[in-house]
């Protein structure tokens, strides 16, 4: 691990946090390109920040076939499979992929699926392999707390969608705050997906097209600070203020601590117990932008 160009506390905060989802919009790379990129990132000086490779369960057979056609070293590769409309029925595809990946030293050790209600959570829990982490994506509508209760009961993890390629896909800050408070009070770990390419909240192009619309996107550091506050039992207004913070001058690392405005967090990486990480279709963007954020 070479994280020397970042403060140690920041490197600990982001260790393994970025699940690479190059197949998904707005990047939308081919499977071959995604495999190449992930392999490069694993060999790069910034590999310390890289988490799992995200692959739809429906494309795992194609993924393994592409690997089998090369002599690529995949030892230590960890994948998370996203389940589609068929839901838990696609877990058979995951199990077959794991059988074929065993000799390569790689594994699908996590699955992710949308869970609209408690019964869907139960089905997903029964379908996951014993050693797999599994994440239920929760819609932030009325009654989502019942789904969180089901995730706790079945020992799963939660997942929140933080954006997309159109402005309407970004959830209202107050809903995100309610989610963070709800998972904190339940000691329920979660991951995030979509819309977190940037460290700090602000206006950014929503896609990589030259004529892309611009929208306000959340920052992954905002989510981390807001998670710390939620776990400390802070008021909703303060959690919201951290979530929508857009001034880099108010967020910095000093002497191994994370500072946001008047608050100092002596052990910021502890938030990763609750916030497992986030999926991003870009790995370089979240890392490279740190050069202009959190300067002492």
pLDDT of residue 1: 43
Mean pLDDT by 10 residues, the chain (296 residues): 67 93 96 98 95 98 95 95 90 96 95 96 95 96 94 98 96 98 98 95 95 96 96 97 95 82 88 95 93 67
Q: What is the pLDDT of residue 295?
A: 58
Helices (H) and strands (E) in the chain, counts: 10, 13
CA distance 112 to 110: 7
Q: What is the pLDDT of residue 267?
A: 84
Q: How far is CA 285 from the centre of its chain?
A: 14
pLDDT value at residue 3: 57
Please state, as a whole number, how many other Cβ atoms lie within 10 Å of the Cβ of residue 262: 6
Instruction: Return the CATH number of 8-292, one of 3.20.20.70, 3.40.630.10, 3.40.50.2300, 3.50.30.60.
Output: 3.20.20.70
Q: Where are the domains of the chain?
A: 8-292
Please state the pTM of the whole predicted model: 0.95
DSSP-derived letter for residue 270 is G
Angle, CA 18 vertex, CA 184 and CA 251 arms, to 5°: 65
The bridge status of strand 133-137 relative to strand 190-193 is: unpaired
């Amino acid at each position: 691990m070479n994280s020397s160009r970042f403060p140690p506390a920041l490197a600990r905060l982001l260790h393994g946090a970025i699940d690479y989802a190059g197949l998904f919009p707005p990047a939308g790379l081919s499977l071959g390109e995604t495999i190449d990129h992930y392999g490069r990132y694993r060999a790069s000086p910034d590999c310390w920040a890289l988490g799992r490779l995200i692959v739809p369960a429906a494309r795992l057979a194609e993924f393994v076939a592409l690997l089998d056609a090369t002599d690529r070293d995949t030892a230590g590769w960890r994948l998370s499979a996203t389940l589609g409309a068929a839901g838990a029925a696609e877990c058979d595809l995951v199990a077959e992929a794991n059988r074929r990946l065993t000799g390569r030293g790689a594994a699908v050790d996590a699955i992710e699926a949308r869970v609209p209600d408690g019964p869907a959570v139960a089905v997903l829990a029964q379908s996951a392999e014993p050693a797999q982490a599994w994440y239920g994506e929760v819609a932030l509508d009325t009654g989502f707390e019942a789904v969180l209760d089901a995730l706790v009961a079945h020992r799963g993890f939660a997942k929140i969608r933080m954006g997309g390629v159109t402005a309407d896909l970004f959830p209202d800050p107050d809903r995100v705050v309610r989610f963070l408070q709800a998972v904190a009070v339940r000691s329920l770990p979660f991951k995030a997906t979509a819309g977190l390419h940037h460290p700090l909240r602000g206006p950014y192009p929503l896609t990589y097209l030259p004529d892309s619309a611009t929208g306000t996107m959340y920052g992954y550091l905002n989510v981390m600070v807001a998670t710390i506050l939620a776990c400390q039992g802070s008021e909703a207004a303060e959690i919201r203020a951290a979530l929508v913070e857009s001034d880099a001058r108010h967020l910095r690392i000093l002497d191994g601590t994370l500072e946001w405005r008047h608050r100092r967090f002596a052990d910021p990486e502890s938030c990763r117990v609750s916030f497992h990480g986030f999926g991003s279709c870009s790995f370089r963007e979240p890392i490279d932008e740190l050069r202009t954020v959190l300067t002492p």
